[in-house]
Structure 1
């Protein structure tokens, strides 16, 4: 792991670049070998998240800028992005800011959902966690709660489906038993939205939100193939 002005990042593997935002997932605990065997995988924790510094004041431009600073630092001209859940939203959000993003793989989040209430949901989660010392300690170890609230507030202000209508290849996947996805958009409607946009997706039977994260090995090989075919060949 390396540090650049308070931004912590890692780089593993060789080949075309895939950038993986680190917001609420410690990717060091996840087997990404299906990607690192074929690509140069750069994980970046914007300030306010993971082990990066926590200045206490945040905006989306800052989160995106932190990732782009690391991309510039390691000499990457173009890159695909990959992420799951909140990290997948950030992967798509990067594409809104930069034409350097060639493709986006986002799992565990319905990017076509109405996200207007996401800031309130984040504040409610933080308020619930504050009532449990162990849960609150977990939150503080993962990110600055203010950073998470700012992130979701800014996502909530985007036009409907802006994170899906990127003008770049997009791949989606989720577990069939993912109640988080279903709480934001019915899976049937999400499928219809993706089909209408000709966006490829995979639904993995028998897995809920957390289990899908633990079993990314079920989808990573096909995502690596998709990256190679759609944007990085």
Structure 2
């Protein structure tokens, strides 16, 4: 990994650029070769997450700037995004904030759900973790809890389905037994929502939330092929979701 102004990042592979946010998943421990064989994969941990600097005060505009500062440093103009769970939400949120994003692959999260309570949920998780020294140590090793709360506060402030109603290609997937997805939106309703929007998705039998992340190899080849095609598409006019418009 490399560091730029307190932001840690890595870049592997050649081809169209795909940004993978690192919020609560350490991607370096996972096999992303199906993606790096087709694309230039840039993993970025915004400040407050992973090994990046933790200034103690955060907002979504700062998270987006951290990602795009790295891309500017690398000379990357346009890019697709990829992520799972919280990282997938960030992948979609980048598209809301920047016209540079060409496509989004988000797994393990129902982007059409009502997310108005997500800031409260983040605070409740942090409060519960504080009661268990081991759990709290794991939280602190993953991210600054204040950064996670700021992240989810922003997501909670968006209109419903704002992260699904993007003006560029979106693809989704989740495990059939994913209780995290089901706690936010009925999987049946999620499928209806995605079908109505013409968004392709995969439901992998027999896997829960963590299981799907561990077996991401089951979907990564198809997603990688889709991302490499989508990342190469020329950008169209996105003035109403231009860079910085939403943060």
- Larger relative contact order (Cα-Cα within 8 Å, sequence gap ≥ 6): 2
* Structure 1 segment 129-140 matched on structure 2, within 5 A: 129-140=129-140
Gaps of 5+ in 2: 234-247
User: How far does residue 232 in structure 1 lie from its aligned partner after superposition?
Assistant: 2.0
Does residue 1:156 correspond to 2:163, yes or no?
no
Map of 1:56-205 to 2, 5 A cutoff? 56-205=56-205
TM superposition shift of 1:231: 3.5
Distance 1:38 1:230 in 2: 12
Deviation string 1:121-144 (CA, Å, 9 cap, x unpaired) is: 000000110000000000000000
Please give the TM-score of this superposition, normalised by the length of structure 2. 0.93
Which residue in 1 is equivalent to 2:47? 47
Separation (CA, whole Å) in 2 of partners of 1:164 and 1:79: 18
Unaligned runs of 5+ in 1: none
CA distance in 1, matches of 2:132, 2:160: 34
RMSD: 0.7
Q: Runs of 4 or more off by more than 4 Å in structure 1? A: none
How many residues matched?
233
Could you tell me the TM-score, scaled by structure 1's length?
0.99
**Deviation at residue 32 of structure 1 after TM alignment:** 0.4
Superposition deviation, residue 228 in structure 1: 2.7
CA distance in 2, matches of 1:231, 1:186: 30
